[in-house]
Amino acid sequence: MPITMKSCSCQSTACSSHAEPAGVVQSQFNKPPGGNSLDISIKSFDCADCAQKLEQALTKIPGIVSVKVNFISESAHIIYDNGLVKPAEIITFIQKLGYQAMLVEANAAGSNHNHPKTVFSGDTLKIVIIGLMWGIMLGLELLELLPSAVILINIIIISFGGYPIAKRGIGNLRNRIIDTNLLMLIAITGAIAIGEWSEAATVVFLSGIGNYLQEYTLGKTRQSIRSLMELTPPYARVLRNGQELRLPVEDITIGEVILVKPGEMVPLDGRVQCGSSAVNQASITGESIPVDKQTGDDVYAGTMNMQGVLEVVVTKFAQDTTAAKIIKLIEQAQNKKATAELIVDKFARFYTPIVISLAICLVVVPTVVFQQSFVSWFYRALVLLVISCPCALVISTPVSIISAIGNASRQGILIKGGEYIEQLGKVENIAFDKTGTLTMGRLKVVRVECTGNLSEQQILNIAATVEKYSEHPIAQAIVTEEAATDLVPAVNFIALPGQGASADIDDETIYVGNKRLFCGLGHNLEQYETIWREIELNGETYVLVGTNNILYGIICLADVVNSSGKQVIAELKRYGIAPLMLTGDNEYAAKTVAKAVNIENYYSDLMPENKADIIARLRNQGKVVAMVGDGVNDAPALAEATVGIAMGATGSDTALETADVALMTNDLGKISYAVKLSRNTVSIIKQNIWIAVGLKVIFIIGTVIGVTNLWLAVFADVGASIIVTVNGMRLLAAKKI
Ligand code: ADP
Ligand code: MG
């Protein structure tokens, strides 16, 4: 079929415009059990703590079933009862607390990415003005000039910069929630009360600049993660009635034909109908070497067509493409809190009231009991209030986890939540499936042994007739071998997981499967001793073909060991992780592969549930176990493992959805990468927690003995947040660790 090349003036816009990524769909107003759901994008959080407080405040609204506020993605996912509360009321409630809130529209592709790229423009001006005034004030004060002007400038700084602080602090207080803003407000008012106008203005200015810097660094993290999500182009060239039309991807349905020209991104998932080209799939698989695509091959939205023109039949709607699924999963992953995060959140709840009580004691005890100077101890109490915000601590874990998830997805590793990073960082055993994981799963028939009166060709033919309906790699190998021959129709196909398959041909049930299956049927297999010896010697995979009482023959197959296997196993061993191999295949085939990749510990002839049992046994010994598998029959073992890792998940919905970690390619190297990244993440989280807690402890001691002041306290408070944010962001930047 010829491909019509029409001149198109908009080609460059089609491939360079990333402004409206397609396929990003937020679930909204769809009814999960328990109510309606709603996504809101929220801006101008100035402290991680604020997100937590907002979550608390929202939970108190009658009719709200559950709330998840995400500080990093600046969004809230709310499940609510439409009879009791309306979305508009929720939005107004959030706005009253001093945040900008906006409904994320259903189906508006990429609407959650519509945040302005420069979040800071208005704020920048404000901070510059306050900064200038603060500088002038400081100069005048040092030179002891114009004392009344100094007071005036201070009043302007305090009212101008302090207004948003007061608004939020008081707003939250109305909901009986004490937040950082309120504490800042008390500190500022307190400083004014004891005549420390310049100190009050300095607290306002420094907290403003601190929040600004923190917002800036976080903005960078958010942007890097968002840029990952902006994978797919918003428009596609579709062929309708012989004409080439440029339409939004949402308007194109399954079965339509789209054209992808050289240098363009593939706009939708589909199958190549005509043409050939190399396609760079790095955005999905992390593999930077382009993959050759020809008629019949699958292509994915968001990948880059390098040189040829491809005519592609669309196989998925814009909102169902692999890229859209990845985006959705990354978003969901951000909302799943890691264990460390949950512990920190709990601690943060106690931390603030404890520090406030300490502050009160600091005023009351020395002044009342020991008749010390009120002003000096009141000042120290104010300093304590400033550092009572647990922001740095609250943000320490999520910023690291999200950076790690972002980094991993760029490498084609999809991690479904923080807890899996934590677990992968601690993993002690990794179990591998054999076929399709340690081997390529591209088996080839090497020979056929005849044991009845059918010829090799006939045996292959009936085996292929049965296997036509199976998805097992063995089945595919047999069907491929027989591709040239016409197959007779078979009925009543039954898959026998871990054993084989059967189907009826001419009213006779034909079985294709392993020894276990045929022993179960009552065959005596010992008479074929020479055949078994040969198979044993070669370490081949084999299947038997026959009826319930006749064995027609044995098909022997060979597989190719995954080239990255040996190196990855060696690397994992170096990390102190014990690898093991679990397979449903025979002992000798298992031994051959295990030897090739240097795994000493392997189990063969397993049924899918036996694989799960072995994992369960290890877990019962208290081990953290990961399982790497590919196929559907590995599902029980993947579910049983602490972390289930699915290989080659591109295009396979089950693998993408059921595993905890999904690898987009069959590159085993991604496993050691994920382990390394997770270990790094865990250690950065630890560092961050130490930094956050350590600084607070130093300051609390320093304040009680009277060597700190309000300035330093604000500096330490926001400084710590910035340090942990930047430290966490290192994970996003790291390419090869
Ligand atoms: P693995 O653990 O190596 O992935 P499976 O659990 O998928 O293996 O299968 C175990 C064994 O069961 C295979 O080695 C094969 O002997 C047999 N088997 C499973 N499915 C089929 C099938 N469709 N056709 C033939 N044999 C099969
Ligand atoms: Mg398998």
pLDDT for 33 equals: 47
Among residues 530, 561, 592, which one ends one of the domains?
561
Q: For residue 605, how far is its CA from the centre of ligand 1 (angstroms)?
A: 9
Between CA 464 and CA 445 the distance in angstroms is 12
CATH number of the domain within which 269 lies: 2.70.150.10
CATH number of the domain within which 508 lies: 3.40.1110.10
Q: What is the mean pLDDT of residues 665-670?
A: 88
Nearest Cα neighbor of 263 from 489, 500, 12 is: 12
What the block records as the tokens of 650 is 């591109």
State the catalytic residues: 433
Q: What is the mean pLDDT of residues 290-306?
A: 91
Strands 602-603 and 578-582: parallel
> What is residue 319's DSSP assignment?
G
Between CA 583 and CA 575 the distance in angstroms is 24
Burial label, 181 (beta-carbon count in 10 A; 0-12, 13-18, 19+): buried
pLDDT tier at 107 (50, 70, 90 boundaries)? very low
Measure the CA dihedral 451/452/454/456, to 10°.
0
Q: What is the mean pLDDT of residues 35-48?
A: 77
Between CA 46 and CA 35 the distance in angstroms is 30
Q: What is the mean pLDDT of residues 193-211?
A: 85
CA dist list (Å): 65 to 76, 82, 414, 597: 13, 10, 29, 51
Please check whether residue 646 lies inside any domain of the structure: no
Beta bridge partners of 508: 505
pLDDT for 590 equals: 93
513 lines ligand 1 (CB under 6 A): yes
Q: What is the mean pLDDT of residues 202-209?
A: 85
pLDDT tier at 121 (50, 70, 90 boundaries)? low
Residue 119 has pLDDT above 60, yes or no: no
pLDDT tier at 114 (50, 70, 90 boundaries)? very low
Strands 257-260 and 291-293: unpaired
Question: How does pLDDT run across 684-720, given as a tens digit for each residue?
Answer: 999 999 999 898 889 888 888 888 888 888 888 888 8
| Amino acid at residue number 251 | D
For the chain, the domain total comes to 2
Question: How does pLDDT run across 512-560, given as a tens digit for each residue?
Answer: 999 999 999 999 988 888 888 888 888 889 999 999 989 999 999 998 8
Q: For residue 435, how far is its CA from the centre of ligand 1 (angstroms)?
A: 9
Please check whether residue 303 lies inside any domain of the structure: yes
Q: For residue 522, how far is its CA from the centre of ligand 2 (angstroms)?
A: 26
Among residues 259, 290, 320, which one ends one of the domains?
320
Residue 179 has pLDDT above 90, yes or no: no
What the block records as the tokens of 176 is 């009986």
Ligand 1 atom nearest the C-alpha of 586 is 14
584 lines ligand 1 (CB under 6 A): yes
Q: Which domain holds residue 547?
A: 440-561
Q: For residue 480, how far is its CA from the centre of ligand 2 (angstroms)?
A: 18
Residue keyed to tokens 């953290």: 624
Please check whether residue 580 lies inside any domain of the structure: no
The strand order across the sheet containing 243-248 reads 243-248, 235-240, 257-260, 310-314, 270-274, 298-299
Give percent of the chain with pLDDT exceeding 70.
89
pLDDT for 715 equals: 81
Question: How does pLDDT run across 335-356, given as a tens digit for each residue?
Answer: 777 788 778 878 877 877 888 8
Please enumerate in sequence order all residues whose Cβ is within 8 A of that of 396, keeping only pairs 6 or more positions apart, or say none.
344, 685, 688, 689, 691, 692, 724, 728
Instruction: Find the range with the poorest average confidence among 142-146, 645-649, 731-735.
Output: 731-735
Please check whether residue 492 lies inside any domain of the structure: yes
3-state secondary structure 518-552: HHHCCCCCHHHHHHHHHHHHHCCEEEEEECCCCEE
Higher pLDDT pick, 229 / 537: 537
pLDDT for 198 equals: 86
Between CA 84 and CA 61 the distance in angstroms is 9
Mean pLDDT of the chain: 83
Higher pLDDT pick, 246 / 1: 246
Please check whether residue 214 lies inside any domain of the structure: no
What the block records as the tokens of 371 is 């008749």
Q: Which listed ligand is nearest to 584 at the C-alpha?
A: 1
Beta bridge partners of 292: 278
Higher pLDDT pick, 608 / 503: 503
514 lines ligand 1 (CB under 6 A): yes
Identity of the highest mean pLDDT range in 390-399, 456-465, 627-636:
456-465
Please check whether residue 423 lies inside any domain of the structure: no
Alpha helices (runs of H) in 310-373, residue ranges in sequence order: 322-335, 339-364
612 lines ligand 1 (CB under 6 A): no
20 lines ligand 1 (CB under 6 A): no
Question: How does pLDDT run across 10-20, given as a tens digit for each residue?
Answer: 333 333 333 33
Please check whether residue 29 lies inside any domain of the structure: no
Between CA 143 and CA 348 the distance in angstroms is 43
Among residues 526, 561, 596, which one ends one of the domains?
561
Residue 602 has pLDDT above 90, yes or no: yes
Question: How does pLDDT run across 568-600, given as a tens digit for each residue?
Answer: 999 999 999 999 999 988 899 999 999 999 999
CA dist list (Å): 162 to 165, 169, 171: 5, 10, 14
pTM over 0.85: no
Residue 641 has pLDDT above 80, yes or no: yes
Sign, Cα dihedral of 684, 686, 691, 693: positive
Please check whether residue 736 lies inside any domain of the structure: no
Q: What is the mean pLDDT of residues 138-152?
A: 87
Residue 73 has pLDDT above 90, yes or no: no
Q: What is the mean pLDDT of residues 178-199?
A: 85
Residue 661 has pLDDT above 90, yes or no: yes
